[in-house]
Chains A and B, each alone.
Chain A
Amino acid sequence: MSTVRFPVVFAAALLSLSGVAFAQTEPPPGQDEGQLVVDVTGGQRAPLPIAVPYLPTPQETATAAGGTGALGRQVADIVAADLRNSGLFTPIGPGGLHAVSFPQVTAPDFPYFATTGAQNLVQGFVQANGNGSLTVGCYLYDVAAQSELTRQGYVIQPRDWRRAAHRCADTIYSRLTGEGAYFDTRIVYVSETGPARRRIKRLAIMDYDGANHRFLTNGQWTVLTPRFAPNQQTITFMTYQDERPRVMVYELDSGRTRPLVAGPNMTFAPRYSPDSRHIIFSMAVNGNTDVYRIPVAGGTPQRLTNSPGIDTGGSYAPDGGRIVFESDRGGSQQIYMMDADGSNQRRISFGGGGYATPVWSPRGDLIAFTKTGGFRIGVMAPDGSGERILTGGGYAEGPTWAPNGRAVMFTRGASAGELWYVDVASGATRRVPTPLGGSDPAWSPLRP
């Protein structure tokens, strides 16, 4: 097969970064013609049919991650899976669709794809660059209008091919829904195994779809409630290391772990500030638990609450100005709001029953929580209005937001946990695959 010159306008603009895995071109922002409006908040719209054929390669080339032809098929599989996972799309293919030749990537066979029922079409290619890197191209078309909606190119090391697929799916998702992306993300969570009396709990990290799974701790000590720093440089979590339950900070680059707070008191429920500079946490002193704040680098804790009840589970607003937390100061677990300095504390949950684990959406518009009567996941506005329960039967607790604020992951199961995902608009749920049991998921921001 002869080499075909490929008219990629963006190729010249691509940066080839050695240290950073990715370079990409951004589409021009704005609401130009061709954008489909998806009614995400209403959740009434049927999933959009979108064709995702296999990605061809201009020349079959062996790479560290397999041949470029095989990678093109795997990338298409992941793009289709991501779009299906969102609940907003019904992918058509990749299997069963006509093969796309390399020249057709930029000149699609629109009449054929119209016969598949697809409203949109994703095409692309995988090309070896000769220096060990790959270029993955990703194109989105409107089938009926026979027009291109966006194109993106990613220069990657072969081992990062899954990330290129997630980036492609993110581009399509954002272009067609107007929402923020969330597929190129990771989950840190607690992997569980063994009998309930002596459950072994290990810190683990994986891509949002369960791929690239690895353990961060060996299971000697119980670990709980990890959280990603917004800058993704550290993870904070609670450990029973040396039978001293306390909050630790794990540095992702070095693999080093250090205690966040000095002293003998139990510390738990850590959450980062949006600027990644502080962590709010709970500390139990002689049977009384309050919320404190401390620099991630360490220092003197500043006390933010001062009630005789249990104050815990704090979560910052995206702008860092306020903190939502739970307290039983009034006799039952309820959600409270305060300013970031601890002032102006007031209750916001009045829907009846108990509320726990409030987590502020990255969009700022909603607070996810656990309703303790029946253990269901719900959302409410930051002023406490508009409460809506998202999950049905079965014990659920501990929500964490996707970075676009459109999906929530949580723990299902009281003693033996599983990770589940719920689309906030539609309420559609699905299980997130993990090698063992799982609990306490925390969703990362979009990867840099």
Chain B
Amino acid sequence: MTRLTSLVAIAASLALTAGCAHRRTADQLPPEPPSATAAEADDFGTPQGSVRSTPLPGSRADFLQSVPTDRVFFDFDSYALDDRDRTTLDAQAAWLTRNAGIRVTIEGHADERGTREYNLALGDRRANAARDYLQSRGISPGRMQTISWGKERPANPASTEEAYAENRRAVTVVPE
């Protein structure tokens, strides 16, 4: 009912201030794509042909909902996993055990403070560190392939310590 009420409110505000709905902050909106939901509401605030998507087991969305995060982070010029990384990978291993048919790619990345070719090798080390840990938790190596992107695909393009920390990562990628 709360959801319906907020939809009515949105529909009303849309009528009053057409085009401004996108300025609402995320927490004022329902969790599903807000503009699409609002656009599908009729004059009575009733969703028409409402199709609410749910993550299918084994999908990337399911994986992302089931694990704390799809990535682990590394110190500068390091490929060592810490306790937090191992907790993350334990959850990933549990999901992979439940979804035994899924194959994943583990991407290794580096921050920009390394030469290009060295960073390719460093990204490979990081991807392999995550893969080796998952294998130690019972995941078959045949289900995991690694790829190093070096510094070619930063998660955060800024040149700050925070960005560098985000970029030194290994990401477990489940197919869409």
Contact = CB atoms under 8 A, between A and B. Distances in A.
Interface stretch (A74-82, A83-91, A151-159, A195-203): A195-203
Interface in B64-97: 79
**Contact-size category for A:** 35 or more
B45 interface: no
A377 to B, nearest CB: 11
A439 B115 CA distance: 12
B74 to A, nearest CB: 13
9 contacts: A224-B116, A245-B120, A284-B120, A287-B79, A312-B120, A357-B117, A372-B113, A372-B114, A415-B157
Interface of A: 195-199, 201, 222, 224-225, 243, 245, 266, 268-269, 282, 284, 286-287, 289, 310, 312-313, 326, 328, 333, 356-357, 370, 372, 375, 397-398, 414-415, 439-440
A4 B6 CA distance: 93
A225 B157 contact: no
Interface in B131-168: 132, 147-148, 151-155, 157, 159
Contacts of A195: 157
A243 B173 CA distance: 13
Given A196-B154, A415-B112, A313 B148 contact: no
A439 B117 CA distance: 13
Interface residues of B, number: 26
Contacts, number: 85
Contacts of B113: 372, 375, 414
Contacts of A222: 152
A268 B117 contact: yes
A310 B148 contact: no
B50 to A, nearest CB: 34
Interface string B100-131: 00000000000011111110111011011100
Find the residue from A196, A197, A333 having the highest chain B CB count within 10 A. A196
B116 A326 contact: no
A348 to B, nearest CB: 17
A414 B111 CA distance: 10
Contact of B125 (A199, A287, A414, A415): A287
Contact of B118 (A197, A356, A375): A356
B115 A287 contact: no
A224 B152 contact: yes
Contacts of B116: 224-225, 397-398, 439-440
A266 B124 contact: yes
A415 B115 CA distance: 11
B108 to A, nearest CB: 9
B166 to A, nearest CB: 11
B147 A225 contact: no
B147 A243 contact: yes
A284 B124 contact: yes
